A and B are shown apart, each in its own frame.
Chain A
Amino acid sequence: MKSSVITFPGSNCDRDMDVALTKFGFKNKMVWHNDQELPKSDLIVLPGGFSYGDYLRCGSMASKSKIMNSVINFAKSGGLVMGICNGFQILVEAGLVPGVLLRNKYLQFICKNVHVKVDNKENTFFKNLDKKVLEFHIAHNEGNYFCTNDQLKEIEDNNQIAIYYCDQNGDTNDQINPNGSIKNIAGIFNKEKNVLGMMPHPERMIDESLSGEDGSIFFKNLLNNIK
């Protein structure tokens, strides 16, 4: 299976993502933001980081870069696209998933492990996953998911919420919400469920001695679902 990771000026999780994808069997290529053509891919990943120094709004400049036209066309034709952290911010700015990511409610950069509940398994990203709660890592300043009431209704009606911040038992509540996101939303799909944006970093949880292995579970499962 082939994947491509896009590097924007200021991306800093692109190589981590390359290591993770390669470790679990993807043939990964790195793609520069100023390229126009995507290599043939089964999965496109927009990595975390601080593209364009987070100027204007996080992800806003990167969402207009040359390669994004191809990424948008790829997504619109049903291709799998995943945006992690800054990648999620780029996806919302590109209009590929609904909503926006505001500054964290308590104005602090948050860097810690969190638990997320996987709610919707009728999609390529989480199908057949045998765990309901995963431990991932978050590191962001603007992860406070927000959308209008009309958008929220549409998102809920279409089962577009991918993952929620929760405690280790899978309970979602205000106390466990790290950044003020509406409904504890940590990740969201487009309507067709082939585009996933999420704040947590699965690529940081692929080595037991460094962190944890729930990212390994996610990537192994993803590869099997794409095969």
Chain B
Amino acid sequence: MKVSAVITLKKDVLDPQGKVIHETLDGMGFNSVNEVRQGKYFEIDVKENDPKKAKDLVEDMCKKLLANLVIENYKIIETQ
């Protein structure tokens, strides 16, 4: 089944790319933006049909490789 993971920077970590995107949006006329934070999205197709087991597996991947927990948080989204 497919499991998705979203990795985002923690609140206190500087995100210069997000800042530049925010400024560009501002320059384009999107003036109602408070903040932009850039993250990563993974779609992982695992050989596992049990949703709980599939989620646990991806969570383990997030902890060990996909996210660096010093600066990033992860959120697992079950898809199909």
Is A bound to B? Answer: yes
> Which residues from chain A sit less than 8 Å from chain B, CB to CB?
56-57, 60, 64, 93, 99-100, 102-107, 144, 146-148, 151, 180
CB distance from A213 to the nearest CB of B (A): 35
Q: How far is the CA of A99 from the CA of B70 in the complex (A)?
A: 7
| Closest CB pairs A-B (n = 3) | A100-B70, A107-B16, A100-B71
> Contacts A107-B20, A146-B71: A102 and B14 contacting too (C-beta < 8 A)?
yes
Q: How far is the CA of A148 from the CA of B68 in the complex (A)?
A: 12
> Which residues from chain B sit less than 8 Å from chain A, CB to CB?
13-14, 16-17, 20, 65-66, 68, 70-71
Inter-chain contacts of A57 with B (CB < 8 A): 68
Q: How far is the CA of A56 from the CA of B61 in the complex (A)?
A: 13
Q: Is the CB of B68 within 8 A of A103?
A: no
Partner of A180, one of B14, B65, B70: B14
Q: How far is the CA of A106 from the CA of B19 in the complex (A)?
A: 11
Q: Is the CB of A102 within 8 A of B65?
A: no
Q: How far is the CA of A102 from the CA of B13 in the complex (A)?
A: 9
Q: How far is the CA of A56 from the CA of B65 in the complex (A)?
A: 9
Partner of B16, one of A93, A106, A151: A106
Q: How far is the CA of A107 from the CA of B71 in the complex (A)?
A: 18
Inter-chain contacts of B17 with A (CB < 8 A): 103, 107
Q: Is the CB of A102 within 8 A of B20?
A: no
CB distance from B7 to the nearest CB of A (A): 10
Q: Is the CB of B70 within 8 A of A64?
A: no
Inter-chain contacts of A102 with B (CB < 8 A): 13-14, 71
Inter-chain contacts of B16 with A (CB < 8 A): 103-107
CB distance from B21 to the nearest CB of A (A): 11
Which of B13, B17, B20, B70 has the most CB atoms of chain A within a 10 A radius of its CB? B70
Residue of B nearest to A99 (CB): B70
Inter-chain contacts of A147 with B (CB < 8 A): 70
Residue of A nearest to B70 (CB): A100
Partner of B65, one of A60, A105, A107: A60
Inter-chain contacts of A146 with B (CB < 8 A): 13-14, 70-71
Q: Is the CB of A64 within 8 A of B68?
A: no
Q: How far is the CA of A103 from the CA of B16 in the complex (A)?
A: 8
Inter-chain contacts of A93 with B (CB < 8 A): 68
CB distance from B48 to the nearest CB of A (A): 21
CB distance from B60 to the nearest CB of A (A): 13
Q: Is the CB of B70 within 8 A of A56?
A: no
Inter-chain contacts of B13 with A (CB < 8 A): 102, 146
